[in-house]
Each structure stands twice: as structure tokens, then as C-alpha cells.
Structure 1
Amino acid sequence: MSSQAKLDYQLPGRIAAEGNGDLAARAHPEPPHPYRSPFARDTARILHARAFRRLSGKTQVFSRLAHDLPADHFRSRLTHTLEVAQISRTLAEALGLNRELAEALALAHDIGHPPFGHAGEKALDTALRQYGLGFDHNLHALRIVTWFEERYPAWRGLNLTLGVREGIIKHSRDYTSATHPELAEYFLDLRPPLEAQLIDLADEIAYLTADFDDGLDSGILNVKDVCDHVPLFRRFHDEVTEQYPSAPSKQAVYETLKRMLNALVTDLIEEVRKRVAASGAVSLDEIRRAPHRIAALSAAMEADRAAAKSYLYANFYNSPGMEEEHERAARVVQELFSVLMADPTLLPADHQVQIPTEGLARTVADYIAGMTDSYIEQLWSRHAQ
């Protein structure tokens, strides 16, 4: 398909889809900005949020100085987020979608993560289960942007557009009104816009290629074993070593991963075009009413992606050294949770005032979820050891 063959698709917030309201609307009405679109303003608000800055101190894969390696060059949750934003902008531009909406969603997609990455999220969820609650980083992200951020005298939260708030909670999973009636305004019986659907796949592409980079750089993975077990990596590594036989090993890996990323993004663009054409959808309303999400990789590329991800789980995320990190993260989170439940006076004053309305367990979880890795380590050392 030529570069001019963009999707004939009603852009949310610029052309509101009939029956779906105005996705550029805000909970608290504001006058239009003289030269920035609503979604561009949302992007800036997310970038300037304290919760966004804290991502620099939160785990992507390595939670501490893992395996006695200096962690300066490994991804943090913030650098991962910036990589997802770059991929999302590319996807939206190529597909003729709203690039500003896609960028805002990418920047916010991990803003609700607690310290220690997925190990910390699992531990916090486990701690809440004994109180009949749970932790979901998408729903926590919505709480951050609608309540916890306090930057404006006229309202709590960032007052983001409806389109961005919907995408924050729906980019990676679906919710039902039966289980989450509080989310009724976010069209729970409909698919999210394509911009939101693409974020989950941009996330997958970003961390898949980046985690091979960090895994190989750390020494936990080695190139020969990856080539032996990951067809997608081997295909491009063979190309690179044939084209550049004298290239140092690290440069060959970098070039391999660059080509992997490009192949994944290109495949996604082409597959979305095919699926939109096959569906006949030309408006947001038709995208929303499709029987399944339209954004997806081709069957062949999805098989390659799944094999690569499976390899990372077996040989990187769940490797012996990393398992020790996960166990320690769970211990820190759950022990500090117990300490704060036993003595709520240890909570900051602005959290203590939430207890009557939110309950103690949720308030403690909210406090922990906002911490960076280093801050939770300090509190745990002071109060739980």
C-alpha cells in the first residue's frame, strides 16, 4: 500500500463519532487553547505530572543492581514509556490516525505501575486480596490522573479528555459494567478507538526488543542461545552478520534488534490496514462496534512474537537471579503493607484523610503504588526490617 493510502477514519476529538460523544470533552470544561489541540494539551499534562517523573525510579526489568551489574544503561519504566511513545507516534502517523491521542495514551500507559515492576504489582494485588480488593495498574492510572495529581486550583487531577481517560483503562483489556459500574462513562460495551488498541501492541514491541537488548547486555542471555531458540532474532542476526561480517558483536545485536523492531512495526501497520479494509469500517463508531479488536499482528508475526516472549520468560524474566529479585520485591511490598496497616499514623497526612472514604487497605495500597524503588526500600528498611 502506498504511503498516501491512509485510513479513511474519523479522528477522535476532531470529528466526534455519532453516538459516542465528544472524546475531546473534559470533566471540567475549559476554553480551547489558541494553538494546541486537546490531546496535545493532555500530552503536556502527563509529561509534567509528578507520577510521570517517578517512573524514572521504577523497575522495568531490573529492580536493583541485579547480578552485581551497574544498572545505568538498563531501561527504567520511564525510558520504556518513551520508547512506547515513539513507536505509537509512528504507528498513528502511518495509519492516518490521531498522533497526539496516541502519544498521550503511550505516555500514560504505565503511569499506574507500583515499584518493582510486575513483581511489585503482583505483590500489592496479593496483599489487597485478603481485604476483598485488588490492584490493577490501569485503574490506578485513572485514579492518578483524575484525583491524585494536584496541579490546578480549580479541580483535582489533570482534567484529561474523555478519549485519553478511556484509552488509559481500555488500551490493554476490556472491562464490563457488571464488574466495574464506576467506569460506565467509558463505553464499556464498545471497542476502544484504534489509537488505544495500538498502545498495547506498541508496548509489546517496545519491551520485546528492549528486553533482548538488556538481557544480552547483562549477560543473562547469550547471542548463540537466543539465535538457537528465537527464530525472529536469528533471521535478522543472520542477515546482519552476513552483511557486516567484521562488526563487533554488540553492534551486530543492536542492528538485529533495530531490524526486529522495524519488522514488527511494519507488520502491524500492514495488518491493521488489511483488517480495517476487510471490516469495511470507515468511522470510529464502526471501529467500536467491530466484533473483535482490529489492531493485531499477522498470524505469522504473532507466532514469532509469542515464541520470542516465551523465551524471555523462561530465560530472562524467570531466570534464577531474576527470581530472587522478584521474591525480594514481593517481601518488601507485602511487609511494608502489613506495617502500614498495623500503624496508619505512618502514612502521610494527605493519605490519612483518605481513609474514611477509601478505606485503610486501599489507602495503603495507593501510598505504596506511588513509591519509587529506592523510596520503598528506605521505608521498608526503617519500619519493617
Structure 2
Amino acid sequence: METVKSIFKNNIRQYAMLIALVVIMAFFQIATKGVLLLPMNVSNLILQNSYVLILAVGMTLCILTGGNIDLSVGSVCAFIGGIMGIFVINMKMNVGLAVLLCLLVGGIIGIWQGFWIAYVRIPAFIVTLAGMLIFRGLTITMLEGLTLSPFPDSFTNLSAGYIPDLFGGFGTKLNILTLFIGVIISIIYIYLEVKKRAERKKYDFEVTPGYLFIIQLVLVLAAINVLSYWLAVYKGIPIILALIGILILAYSIFTIKTVPGRYLYAMGGNEKAAKLSGINTNKVLFFSYVNMAVLAALAGITFTSRLNAASPQAGVNFELDAIAACFIGGASAYGGIGTVVGGVIGALVMGVLNNGMSILGIGSDMQMTIKGLVLLVAVAFDVLSKSKSK
């Protein structure tokens, strides 16, 4: 029992948010009389919140460096969407080439903002606030206050398309490829968890008791396969979900398994100590904002694809959704604590809240109030738990 208490205490934020997500889903499933977890609604939930999931990945890295945030991501999304509209609709450019150029523009925006933040040391809040105003103004000027639409199907399929079933369903209505991928992911997960546990035991590190480890495996495997079944019943795996899955995996490996990724945590934990250890903190901070801008460009592309229009009003409050998702998902307001998966869980909490309240017919004013309270409680939990540990 002491081991169990110790493990829960050391991971209280992650476990608490995961439990909160399950409770919120159960509540809305009952309140909406089963509508929330209908296969079609689950698929729509993923598509509707794809931009928040992408932004949350990048925002997590910014917050890790010391509680820094990027207020410009919503305006950058709108700006990139406007450029995409001009390239594809006005200039009839190839969609693939337009996407690459937009990501390049996102990188240039990141270099611009990262320079002022990392090397001139203007506070990130001020630089990104300026960016929010600059890129919103440029978007309105570029589009002349008008909305560009429609985009070709080859572009809208990015956010509305599904991976085709290579097995043809074998005469059933199920997407067999989706079920097969769910099984493959389950096998990989089991292998990685067993390997990780064996390595920890080899070096006499603390591990979860055997029965808890088995319970954890069963719950995660159940979640993976239930989700794959829900998606298989509808249309299969959305293309955007596959892209987000790759991003989550890549950034999780980067932050946990690589030296540059650990530098983010070191800088957020204590920048002066990180500097004395030989870490180029300017470079780390610069990278985090270049990366954030590129992911904001990607989010802008996916949102424009879903909207099927480039609008000067797109991206409003996107930065607030992304920041809230990270803090709700366990990132510390002081930096140095948080995970990419935690940010994704936070984004899912926000998404389920939005979707569930919309199904129940709750007004947008009340939705904002509830989301604000959830964010306040999450950050208060972080502050209180940190003060208790001291």
C-alpha cells in the first residue's frame, strides 16, 4: 500500500486528469442519453478538436521552458489559413506545394518571435501579444476583410477524409483496417510497457506492483480497442487522427528519450542551474518558439481545411484553448513539469466539455464560464500541490 500511495502521489496530476476525463465522459454519456459516445460523434469529436490537439503539443514545450506561453497561435492560424487561401484558390497552386510553403512561413514566424524572446530576452508574453495583433492585422489586410472559399476536395480531405479500408471490410460494415491497427498498437504498447518495467527492475528502480501493472495494461488496452471499434463502426480512422498520432508519438519520444528534450525540463526546473551545467538556454527557448509556430501553421492548415474557407476571423481564442489544455493536462505554471500526453488529455477534457455541453443545448456564455472554472481549479491544484511538497 505504501508503494501504491507513493506512485499515486508522484503522478497525482496525470492520474487526477485522466480520472477527471473518464468521469466527465461518463457524466455526459448519461446526460446525453448515450449520444456522446456514438461512433459518429466520437469521430466528429476528434475532427472538431484536431487543431487544439496540435496546438497543445507545441504549447507544452513552451510551458516546459519556464511557464512561457504563446499568445499569437490563434492569429498565426488565421494568417496561415489566409496564405493557404491565396495560394490554392487565387493562384491555383498545387495543394502539396502550398502546404509546404505555409509550414515554411510558420517557421519564419517562429524565427522572428524566437529571436526577440530567446536572444533579446523580451518577455514571451509581450512578444507573442504583439504577434497576436500583428498577424491578425496582416490577415485582415491580406484577405481585405473577405472570406476565400471553397477549397478543392484534395485539400478538404485532410480534415474530412478517412484512411480507406485495404481489406474491404470482408463483407461487413466494419472497417477491418482500423481494428487491425488497434490490435497492432495494443501489441506494441504491451511490449514497450513490459520492456520498460524490466529495465526499471534491472536497475532497482521503484516499479508498480504486479497487480496494478496488469490493471493498467487491461484498462489502456480496453481504451485502445474500444476506440478502434467505435471508429471502425463509423468510417474508420480519420486522416487527421493518424497525423496527430504521429505527432504525439514523435514529441513524446523527443521530450522523454532525447537530450535536447530533457533540456526543456532542465531549463524549466532552474534556468540558472541549466546554464551552469552547459546548456545553451537561449537555443532551447528559441527552438520551442520556432516549433510552436510551425505547429500553429499546421493547425491553421487543418482548421482551414475543416472550415473549407480562409476567414480573417478564424483562430479567435485558439491560444486560450491550447494554454488551458496544457495546464489542465498537468503542465506546471512554473515550468519544468508536464508531458505531451498530458496536454492531449487536457485537450480531450476541453473537447468533451464543449461537445457534451453543446449536445445538451447549454449556451456559449455558460460554456465559457464552466471552462474558465475548470482551468482555475486545475492551476490551483498545481499551486497547492507544489506548496505542500515544499
Q: Same fold, TM exceeding 0.5?
A: no
Normalised by the length of structure 1, the TM-score is 0.29
Higher relative contact order (CA 8 A, sep 6+): 2
